[in-house]
Amino acid sequence: MHTLRSLSFAKLAKVSSRLLSRQKSTGERPSAPLGSRILTSPDDIFKHNMWDHVQWTEDDKQNARQKAKENSCTQIPLEEQGKFDTEACQYWDKFYKMHQNKFFKDRRWLFLEFPELLPSGAKSQATTRSLGDHPELYPQPAGFSTDTETRHQQHNGPKNHDRNADVPNHQTDSCQEEALEKIQAAIQSNTFPGQNASHRILEVGCGVGNSVFPIVNSIRGTDTFLYCCDFSKSAIQLVKDHPDYDDSVCHAFVHDICEESASFPFPPQSLDVILAVFVLSSIHPERLQGIVNQLSTYLKHDGIFLFRDYGRYDFSQLRFKKGRCLSEYFYTRGDGTCVYFFSKEEVHELFSNAGLEEIQNLEDRRLQVNRGKKVAMHRVWMQSKYRKCYPPPPS
């Protein structure tokens, strides 16, 4: 933990003030719509529980690297590490049996950070409520569109920028339409939950439904269907037992994404969105590329993979004690569950190697404050959005 004295507040305030001044003077959009509560004075730190867009000083960075080095210098012996991978399901099943649905809070921020979850034009009640309750946290910058297609162009330019520069537009459109027609025909020839929906979402590692039910309560009455899976039977049962569970808009099922041979209840290229929130970090890093590769095959062309997880040198990494490290940046907790801490470069490599194009890839750095204990903690989360592009037309 960082006490007030250990935090370099003068430097923090100076950097934060400079960041805020630059945004005001240039009209520049912040790095992400992750809030705009900027700490500009050390005297204000206990006015709120969280401060956004925190810039680390060189001392902060050095202290973080040193703590990570110290808590990873002693690693769990290789002969003991295997159980944390092969028995991961049992550890998480035990976790959910013990905590039920009391451990995590519902993620009502989902639609603020990931408006792509809903089809263009649809509005989330959760988004409207949250913005109404906390308008200062998530202002929409001038000129920033919440329309998915417009947002893609703002980040990346037009959809097919230079991708098919040598192919006439009508030929490219024709090839894409023909491919889509074949895919839709294949989908319609099979019977599966959510078959008739025009917009399909999959959440992997859904746990007890902290993302599921904010989504379910927002998609009722729309042409959207949600799939959600977890390898814990206890977690999926808790989802199905929830009073808001509705199998007309949602299908929950047990599935281990580490099992390559395990099949999904829907065909390839049938999903508009895949959501992975604090789930890939629980998997051994050597497995991750294969998992993302496989999941990406279920996205439609132009479908989006949404990712949020732990970032390198987050407070939760630095507080690990010696003897809990499995490998570099990969740890096991006291209950046997595991966690990996990502860097921005690793995330980009992970998704780009799966053939996806970056829309957003950023580090969400915040200062979390315990006002009762007068303690402040540096939090780091990764937030990323990657799109599956149209393949080049046949030559």
Is 223 among the domain residues? yes
Percent of the chain with pLDDT over 90: 46
Is 393 among the domain residues? no
Backbone angles phi, psi at 164, to 5 degrees: -130, 45
Backbone angles phi, psi at 175, to 5 degrees: -65, -45
Residue 141 has a CB neighbour count (10 Å cut-off) of 12
Is 165 among the domain residues? yes
Give how many domains the chain has, as a whole number.
1
Is 366 among the domain residues? yes
Tokens representing 267? 């065909």
Residue whose structure tokens are 């210098």? 73
DSSP codes, 204-259: ES-TTTTTHHHHHHHHTTTTEEEEEEES-HHHHHHHHHSTT--TTTEEEEE--TT-
Give the closest residue to 271 by CA, choosing from 195, 327, 368, 215: 195
Confidence of residue 55 (pLDDT cuts 50, 70, 90): confident
239-249 confidence digits (pLDDT tens) = 999 999 999 99
Q: How many residues are given for the chain?
A: 395
Tokens representing 65? 């690297």
Domain that holds residue 249: 2-388
Confidence of residue 368 (pLDDT cuts 50, 70, 90): confident
CATH of the domain at 265: 3.40.50.150
Is 394 among the domain residues? no
Is 206 among the domain residues? yes
Q: Which of 41-45, 112-116, 159-163, 178-182 shows the lowest mean pLDDT across its residues?
A: 159-163
Helix (H) or strand (E) holding 358: strand 356-370
Residue 310 CA to residue 313 CA, distance in Å, equals 9
68-109 confidence digits (pLDDT tens) = 999 999 888 887 877 777 766 676 677 676 766 655 566 778
Q: Per-residue pLDDT for 151 more than 70? A: no
Confidence of residue 49 (pLDDT cuts 50, 70, 90): confident
